[in-house]
Amino acid sequence: MTNLIKRKKAERRFQLYGIFAVSLSLLFVLTLIVNIFSSGIGGFYKTSFLMEIHFDQKLLKLEDNPSSEQIEDASFRKLISYNFKENFSQYSKDEIKQIKKLFYRKIDKETQSYLLKNPQYLNQKVELLFTASTDIDQIHKGNFNRNIPEKQRSINNFQLGIYDQFIETGKVKKVFNKRYFISGDSRDPESAGVASSVMGSVFTILICFLLSFPIAIFASIYLEEFAKSGKVTDLIEININNLAAVPSIIFGLLGLGILLNFFGLPRSTSLVGGMVLSFMTLPTIIVACRSSLRAVPPSIREGALALGATKNQVVFHHVLPLAMPGTLTGTIIGLARAVGETAPLLMIGMVAFIMNVPSTPLEPAVGMPAQIYLWSESAERGFIEKTSSAIILLLIFLIVVNFVSVYFRKKYEKKW
Amino acid sequence: MLYPVLFLLLLSVVGFYLNKNKSVYLSKNQKLASLPAYYGYLAFLYIFVPAIIIWLGLLIGKSFILQNYLILTLGDSLSIMNSDEINLFMSKVKNLSLGISFGNETDLEKFAAEKIISFDKIFSLLTYLVLTLSSILAFLIARKKVIPNFKSQRTVEKIVNRFIQICSLIAILITLGIFLSLVFETLNFFSYVNPLHFLFGLNWSPNKAFVIDSAETIDKDILRDAFGIIPLLGGTLLIAFLAMIVAIPLGLMSAIYLAEYAPKKIRDFSKPVIEILAGIPTVVYGFFAALVVAPKIVMLGKSMGFEVSSESALAAGLVMGVMIIPFVSSLSDDVINAVPQSLRDGSYALGATKSETIIKVILPSALPGIIGSFLLAISRAIGETMIVVMAASLQANLTINPLEPATTITTQIVTALTGDTEFDNPKTLVAFALGLTLFFITLFLNYFALKIVKKYREIYD
């Protein structure tokens, strides 16, 4: 009897191990996602200060009704320092310098763009929003503990006092960070954005799709419908299985050795990135396409053949369209994996500092995951948040893509 | 660069319609051997296929022609340079012609850059001309074939079949490309470093090679001690081992629980959620390992009185393990589900409890498949790059202590090739030798894993 109790206990224990393993795995997913989202969601917002600016015509050396070119040529440095002196007249010169450090260092450019958009501001006093410096931005969002000793932080006690004053007078605002979505990389976390890397990834994936999708479909059709079993066919099968298991960094070495060094294609471009990723995606799509071709019942083929269609007509007019939903699902999964792939991009130089948003696949570009890698290596605190925000965008994209593929499968999948 | 292809496509489509219309016209009076569209396809293929081959040839031959053209026009001034100087000159001039200037170009280089610009113009004009001519020629041939008793469908299908056959060969080409590029550069590397010193050396410090590469000849005695792969292999295996310690118990137990115990609702929820882990890009794990896990481990170690490096193998290994859980669990799940129900029923009939059935009947019969899935997971861990690049150390360190920093093969490939990529020094070339080693290790593991899995499947199917 005791033996039975023991065995029952062992049974319960074993089941508990299982529950423990599953819940721990689920906990990992939860931790990862909560952590990334909580640290990155702030990156879509930025801290800004309200400040009154007097657009003095004389300080800007502008004529009446200046043209946009004239405003672009004007120097706003003097205007800014004059306004700081006016607004903080009770402080010494040195202190004003410290106050200025609470703002983004390109405050003159920001003022300039305000005037460009609203020429009527000239000679007026206007209260405008200015981006805060990344240090104060991080303190405001609570990512940085302000209570550590003064020597260990970049913001000193005086500056913190001014910042508290701003808060009391309601001059601190949290605004949507539009710049994050429309600008390229930058040395300053305040103005860095994901636009160039998003464009780079779009081009890369487009090239990857254009190359791998047709080739994979043709290859699968050949292997599934036409090839006679023989040594060559076996060799191709073994190769496809092997390619699916080759580490991604090896594909990067292939791109570097063959595409860049041997064929002399331009370095750091989405063209090469897309080609390398297409080598990786090819096996995934082939496997998916072949299994969907196999799933098409022979009765379809025989019916078409009986009506006098040639073998090619059977395959291209009847079998392939029926195998398309499954193939597309596999393609989407393969491309989603390619979007997140970083290591091959490192090998072919798609990790450069790119400020301009590329407009063709032949321009130097950086991929989204490579941008994440670049930012995460950066020492500046503000970039950590930017990295998490970029990861959020990437994850949201991947989740959407996966839902689309599941939807496709549910909607078009046929059970024969 | 891609405009000629669009141009060709346009020409081919025009050819398609011209031929199709002609055959439609003909078919009003007499019966054609094939449907009119096939005469159109014939024109399309006749125009497109040869022209695209010509275009690719021109594209590949362009730099060669350009070099000879420049040597012809600049003649004397280039003849005094040796081949290295000519290469340098060429890349500088090419950059200049693209508008990338460093402000220190000589008159000769400026002149050559202008020549390149004019050459580019002439060459692209010539390309279009050649493509148009070949298209017209091809079209005329295809046009001749629009006659009642020509079986164009058969010809078109033959071409298409040949084409898809070539497509299927691309998988072989890619493997061949990987192999050749790796082997070629590895041999290049072995001309500097003895393969034995590479494979059995206990010391990894490639920066030694960097210090001396300014000198004309590289001292082989120094290189002997700089490129030993053993510490990298040790670090790779250590991190992979740590990953497996996390992934195997969690993955296997999850698979068992979800396959044998869990109610349908929990299974339908948990399986896709755990599989999310496999879909997250590795760069995200790397970020997580470096910025969240590593500091936590350092803190935890400090509170327990251990000295933990901030780039410890432990952080990278743990996070990698989490990444691999779904690989182990979904593969094991497949194998466990493939065990026939009759084995379970037999065990229950003898009075065994569920856990006894699993441990003593199901797992042993699924064992080969499970081991295969472990091998696949290990190969994934060894080839993983981003997590270790971001969280592991760059310093080679032959250790089995997970709290110490360790580096891996993939990390060193990345460090060797990011930054300067001059291909004449062992410091960068070693990346290809490391890549070849990695390629063989993963190939070997996968081969065995698949073989085991296949063998197992044969028993029950």
Whether B272 contacts B374, CB under 8 Å: no
- B60 CB within 8 Å of a chain A CB: yes
Share of chain B above pLDDT 70, in %: 90
Query: Over pLDDT 90: what percentage of chain B?
Result: 39
Stretch B61-82: mean pLDDT:
74
CB proximity under 8 Å: B 6-25 to A: none
- CA gap A79, A60 in Å, rounded: 7
Provide the pLDDT for residue A266.
Answer: 82
How confident is the model at residue A219, as a pLDDT? 94
pLDDT for the residue numbered A3: 87
Burial class (CB in 10 A: 0-12, 13-18, 19+), B314: buried
- The pLDDT score that the predictor gives to residue A141 is 83
Residue A383's pLDDT is what?
87
Compute the distance between CA of residue B25 and CA of residue B41 in angstroms, rounded to an integer. Answer: 16
SS3 content of chain B, % helix, strand, coil (to 5): 80, 0, 20
Interatomic CA distance for residues B289 and B315, integer angstroms: 6
Contact yes or no for B193/B224 (Cβ under 8 A): yes
Q: Give B61's contacts (C-beta < 8 A, 6+ positions apart).
A: none
Q: Are A372 and A394 in contact (CB under 8 A)?
A: yes
* Pair type for strands A45-54 and A125-131: antiparallel
The confidence score (pLDDT) of residue A381 equals 75
- Written as one letter, the residue type at B278 is A
The helix-helix angle for A2-40 and B230-256 (nearest 10°) equals: 120
Complex ipTM: 0.89
pLDDT confidence tier of residue B434, bands split at 50, 70 and 90: very high
| Distance in angstroms (rounded) separating the CA atoms of residues A337 and B278 | 10
> Which B residues in the span 437-456 are in contact with A, Cβ-Cβ below 8 Å?
438-439, 442-443, 446, 450
Is pTM, for the whole model, over 0.90? Answer: no
- Taking residue A2's Cβ as centre, other Cβ atoms within 10 Å add up to 6
Rounded to the nearest 10 degrees, the angle between the axes of helix B313-338 and helix A2-40 is 130
What are the boundaries of each domain within chain A?
43-177, 195-412
State the Cα–Cα distance between residues A39 and A47, nearest whole angstrom: 15
Q: pLDDT tens for residues B278-299?
A: 889 999 999 999 888 999 999 9
A189: amino acid identity, one letter: P
Tokens of A34: 């909560």
Q: CATH number of the domain at A195-412, out of 3.40.50.1170, 1.10.3720.10, 3.40.47.10, 3.30.420.10?
A: 1.10.3720.10
Q: B300 burial class (0-12, 13-18, 19+ CB within 10 angstroms)? A: exposed
Residue at B332: amino acid letter: S
pLDDT reported for residue B459: 59
Sequence-distant (6+) residues with CB within 8 A of A374 are: A185, A351, A353, A366
Q: Which residues contact B461 (CB under 8 A, 6 or more apart)?
A: none
Which DSSP string do the residues of B247-305 spell out, in sequence order?
A: HHHHHHHHHHIIIIIS-HHHHHHHHHHHHHHHHS-HHHHHHHIIIIIHHHHHHHHHHTT
Residues of B in contact with A28 (CB under 8 A): 277, 322, 325
Mean pLDDT, all residues of chain B: 85
Res B458: pLDDT: 55
Extract the tokens encoding B124.
């692209």
Residues 6+ apart with CB under 8 A from A162: A98, A99, A102
Angle between helices B36-74 and B3-27 (to 10 degrees): 150
* Cβ-Cβ contacts under 8 Å, B355 against chain A: 10-11, 13-15
Contact B218, B194 (CB under 8 A): no
| pLDDT in the model for residue A185 | 86
Residue pair B193/B426 in contact by the 8 Å Cβ criterion: yes
Provide, as residue numbers in chain B, all residues whose Cβ is less than 8 Å from the Cβ of A214.
167
* pLDDT at residue number B70: 76
CA-CA distances (angstroms) from residue A96 to A87, A90, A142, A407, B210?
A: 10, 9, 25, 59, 48
Per the CB < 8 Å rule, is A32 touching B284?
yes
pLDDT of B79: 65
Residue B420 has pLDDT above 70, yes or no: no
**From first to last of its 416 residues, what are the pLDDT tens digits of chain A?**
678 899 999 999 999 999 999 999 999 999 999 988 888 888 888 888 888 888 888 888 877 778 888 888 888 888 888 888 888 888 888 888 888 888 888 888 888 888 888 888 888 888 888 888 888 888 888 777 778 887 777 788 888 888 888 888 888 888 888 888 888 888 888 888 899 999 999 999 999 999 999 999 999 999 999 988 888 888 888 888 888 889 999 999 999 988 888 877 888 889 999 999 999 999 999 999 999 999 999 999 999 999 999 999 999 999 999 999 889 988 998 999 999 999 999 988 888 888 888 888 888 889 899 999 999 888 777 888 889 999 999 999 998 988 888 888 788 777 66
Q: What is the pLDDT of residues B372-418, one digit of tens each?
A: 889 989 999 999 999 999 988 888 878 888 888 889 999 999 988 87
pLDDT at B75 over 80: no
> What would the mean pLDDT of B142-166 be, rounded to a whole number?
89
pLDDT of residue A56: 82
Mean pLDDT of B38-62: 89
**CATH number 3.30.2350.10 given to B230-460:** no
Pairing of the two strands A172-176 and A125-131: unpaired
pLDDT at B137: 94
Q: Do B171 and A243 touch (CB under 8 A)?
A: yes
Set of chain A residues whose Cβ sits within 8 Å of the Cβ of B384: 247
**Where are the domains positioned within chain B?**
3-159, 230-460
| C-alpha of B218 from chain center | 32
pLDDT digits (tens, 9 = 90+) for B88-107: 777 777 777 766 666 666 77
Distance separating alpha carbons of residues A258 and A272, to the nearest angstrom: 11
pLDDT tens by residue, B14-34: 999 999 998 888 888 888 888
Bridge partners of residue B204, in order along the sequence: B227
Touching A: B residues 351-370, CB under 8 Å: 353-356, 358-359
- Cα A371 to Cα A387: distance, rounded to the nearest angstrom: 8
Contact across the interface for B168 and A242, Cβ inside 8 Å: no
Nearest to B291 among A20, A219, A384 (CB): A384
3 state DSSP class of B70: helix
CB-nearest partner of B279 from A336, A372, A387: A336
What are the distances in angstroms from CA A225 to CA A95, A315, B44? 79, 8, 24
Position B321 confidence tier, pLDDT thresholds 50, 70, 90:
very high
